[in-house]
Structure 1
Amino acid sequence: MHLIEILLPLRDADGEAFPAEYYDDLAQHLTDKFGGVTSFLRAPAEGRWHGGGATQREDIAVMEVMARSFDREWWAALKNELTAKFRQEELIVRCQMVELL
């Protein structure tokens, strides 16, 4: 089983919140394709990284799905679509193998 996580920004570079529909539409799309999604939107995570000579900070939302197989091309296309929609230089989509008990 694969666990796929998408890390999404909550705000754009100017500090404006992205529309709730962006997250709702993605959650529905993933539910339709994979039969379910887990969204961590209400208690955002915090991302930190070094850039521009200082530590950068950003509140993020996380969406995750579990899938029996991993279609790299499908996920790469979704990542490209989301990177443009959320106006990001880079967007993290990660996949890991998990064992269900």
Structure 2
Amino acid sequence: MNLVQILLPCMDNSGQPFAKEDFESVKEELAGRFEGVTAYLQAPADGLWRQGGEANADKIVIFEVMTDEIDLAEWRDRRTALERQFRQEKVIIRHLPITLI
């Protein structure tokens, strides 16, 4: 079993918040494809990263799905679509092997 996490920004690069509908469409698509999704939307996480000597901060929301198989081509296509939808240079999608208890 794998846990896949998608990290999406709450705002675009100009500081304008994305509409609730933007996140709802992601949630609905994932729920339909993977028969369930957990969306952490109410309490955005703080992201901080360094690029060269410059620090960047962001508020993010996280979507999680569990799946037996990881189709990397499908996930790369989904990442490209999310980068376009949320006008981002890079959307982080990561997967971790998990054991259900």
TM range (shorter): over 0.9
Q: Secondary structure at the match of 2:14?
A: coil
Q: Which amino acid aligns with 2:24?
A: D
Match of 2:33 in 1: 33
Q: Which amino acid aligns with 1:97?
A: P
Deviation sequence 1:68-95 (CA, Å, 0-9, x none): 1111111110000001111111110000
Q: Structure 1: where are the runs of 5+ without partners?
A: none
Question: Following TM superposition, where does structure 1 have runs of at least 4 consecutive aligned residues deviating by more than 6 angstroms?
Answer: none
Match of 1:75 in 2: 75
Q: Which amino acid aligns with 1:7?
A: L
Q: Secondary structure at the match of 2:60?
A: strand
Number of residues of Structure 1 aligned to a counterpart in Structure 2: 101
The separation in 2 between residues aligned to 1:41 and 1:15, in whole angstroms, is 17
The separation in 2 between residues aligned to 1:29 and 1:14, in whole angstroms, is 26
Match of 2:18 in 1: 18
TM score, norm. by length of structure 2? 0.96
TM score, norm. by length of structure 1? 0.96
Percent of residue pairs identical: 37
Q: Structure 2: where are the runs of 5+ without partners?
A: none
Q: Which amino acid aligns with 1:70?
A: I
How far 1:55 sits from its partner (Å)? Answer: 1.4
Q: Which amino acid aligns with 2:80?
A: N
The separation in 2 between residues aligned to 1:54 and 1:77, in whole angstroms, is 30
